[in-house]
Amino acid sequence: MAAHEKVDVAIVGAGASGSVFAAVMAGQGKKVVILEQGPDWQLKDLISSDIWGRRVKPAGGPFILEGKHPVSYGNQGGWGVGGAALHYFANFPRLLPNDFRIKSEHNRAHDWPIAYEDVAPYYDKVAREVGVSGDAKAEEIWRPAGEPYPMPPMKTFRNGDIWLKGFEAAGIRMVPAPVGMNSVAFKGRPACIYDGWCHVGCPIGALANPLVTYLGDARKAGAEVRPFSTVTRVLTNDTGARVTGVEYYDRSGERQVQEASAVVLAAWAAQNPRIMLNSASGKHANGLANASGLVGKYLMTHFGSSTFAIFDEDVENHMGTTGAQYMSYERYGKTSHKDAFGSTFIVAGFALKTNDLGGIANARLDLFGPDLDAFMRRAARGLTRINAFGEEMPNIENRVELIADKDAFGMPLARMTHTYDKDAEAVWNANLDEGVKVARAAGAKEVWAARGAMPTIHLMGGTIMGTDAGNSVVNSYGPDPRDCQSVRGGTRDFRHRRRLQPDLHHLRLVAARGRASCGQLEGGRGVTPTAEHLSLRCRRRRATKESSNSAEEWCPGRSSTYPAYFSNLIPSYKRSMAGDRISYQNPLFQAAQQSDMALSTNFFLIHKIYL
């Protein structure tokens, strides 16, 4: 084990959350090291290809998936520097005031210990710092006024414009979508070229990923990024009252210890609870910050209600961005749909490539051979889609928990259990029904709703935010400098000001892609979580400045060629599909994990091809 100099701050994860903390702490002159389990990607490494793009999706120890609606986590995290924000769509919608008061207004879910007004200034701050294009004034038909976005809206294409007539007929107002992309040159970064490859990483820096925003700032200020460093435990002193650093394994599989005065957990929403639970000790028998028993509980996702349509004209579906061109909060009220409860956030106008996430071929998984060929020929010119993201209410049974099986480093694997409730299913179906009506009103020649398995996207939760140590894992803001026992939480920075269980001193927890616990506290709310995630991080930064002095899953053998023996592994795959239990611990997924194939894509494509 190599000797490492003690640092002021050790940050676990070089994604959106970790990058914000690193930029602020390094900018204040603190010695910062960022431990990232994957490669140290640079912009020049990013290639506009679905096959190459699978390299930046999650790798490392697999999760066991259970429940009626298992979490599809292939796009929930990231492999390497930049994290999921290296391949995200850069949609930047906001939470609305009603999201923070669900318990008070509807006697459902939870109220947040903060309000919209607490976060709003940081929405504007993030937009100024990373660069957001949109029309803030147009959004004021639904939300309180704020600062204008620093750039005008992105260019639109026929694949988005063609839907406007249908939305108007349904009484749904659409406005330009706010996105973290450059409609014009911004801070030395070029404008978008609209080639539609955002989901595999933007090689020109027109999309606001961590490499060209906060992580770039952190590096300039002297922060060290240590790639291929898989953190397995947060370490504490003999009394269990103070965090002393982290245990991690390097690229050679050797155990290392990095001592630090403060530790920030900024992995993704399932990995943070896994690390916390695995950090159990004699003083913390149930894991760190888990006096309430709620670490890993209230796991949440969004569900997408996609409507596909083919029009009798060229809609330029290869052009644009994978972020939205238009958006609407028109169905965002919690009771917008009859006999259903939960918000819906509507988007339209996306670039579609041939395959992979949301691709043309994946629009009709029921077709094979000549029928698929005929469909692809029609769709290549006229296919486009809309999507409606729905909100899930928090459920304590949806959770992350450790299991007996272990990874290559001896760290217990984890199980994710997830099932939607009847309200979520009702909102999903209502959105699909309305989407079909919108498509027909828009003049589509062929229309269908994506009524396969109910999707699970935008993983959130696992470190619930609350008002006291008995009902949460983290408080509403972050550690009080006078109270050294706070734990940080959330993704998007769920900072909770309140004294947490006297578990640790200066551990900050940030679930990089999942909204802060409780699934985000009051529910998974209907909008994509990026804006809240970054805004809450920035809100937390002020307290961090004042108290900062106080704390691959190494994946060997990743091949550049596809295994040639998938067909020989089908019996094992079929066995793993029995019941509600899906396991990535079988030869098929081990082979997929060690190739360039993303688990999220493999699961469906191999299933269709070979079964």
The CATH number of residue 3's host domain is 3.50.50.60
Instruction: State the pLDDT at residue 158.
Output: 98
389 inside domain: no
- 136, two tokens: 């803030």
Instruction: State the pLDDT at residue 571.
Output: 36
Instruction: State the pLDDT at residue 358.
Output: 72
Instruction: State the pLDDT at residue 521.
Output: 38
Provide the residue range defining the domain that includes 40: 1-88+93-131+209-298+458-562
Q: What is the pTM of this model?
A: 0.83
Cα–Cα distance measured from residue 29 to residue 142, given in angstroms and rounded to the nearest whole number: 41
Cα–Cα distance measured from residue 111 to residue 465, given in angstroms and rounded to the nearest whole number: 10
3-state secondary structure of 334: coil
- Extract the runs of DSSP E, i.e. beta strands, from 317-456: 326-328, 344-348, 383-390, 399-406, 412-417, 446-449
480 inside domain: yes
Instruction: State the pLDDT at residue 525.
Output: 63
577 inside domain: no
533 inside domain: yes
Q: What angle do CA 281, 286, 288 make, to 5 degrees?
A: 70
Instruction: State the pLDDT at residue 577.
Output: 34
215 inside domain: yes
Instruction: State the pLDDT at residue 59.
Output: 73
Query: Domain count of the chain?
Result: 1
Three-state SS across 23-69? HHHHHCCCCEEEECCCCCCCHHHCCCCHHHHHHHCCCCCCEEEECCC
Instruction: State the pLDDT at residue 469.
Output: 82
293 inside domain: yes
Instruction: State the pLDDT at residue 76.
Output: 80
115 inside domain: yes
541 inside domain: yes
Instruction: State the pLDDT at residue 569.
Output: 33
Cα 423 to its chain centre, rounded Å, is 23
3-state secondary structure of 118: helix
pLDDT along the chain (611 residues), means of 10: 90 96 96 97 94 85 93 85 94 96 95 93 96 98 97 98 98 98 98 95 97 98 98 95 96 97 94 96 93 95 95 96 96 96 97 82 89 93 96 96 96 97 97 98 97 91 88 70 30 28 43 33 57 68 49 29 31 35 36 31 28 27
Residue of 304, 200, 192, 265 lying closest to 528 (CA atoms) = 304
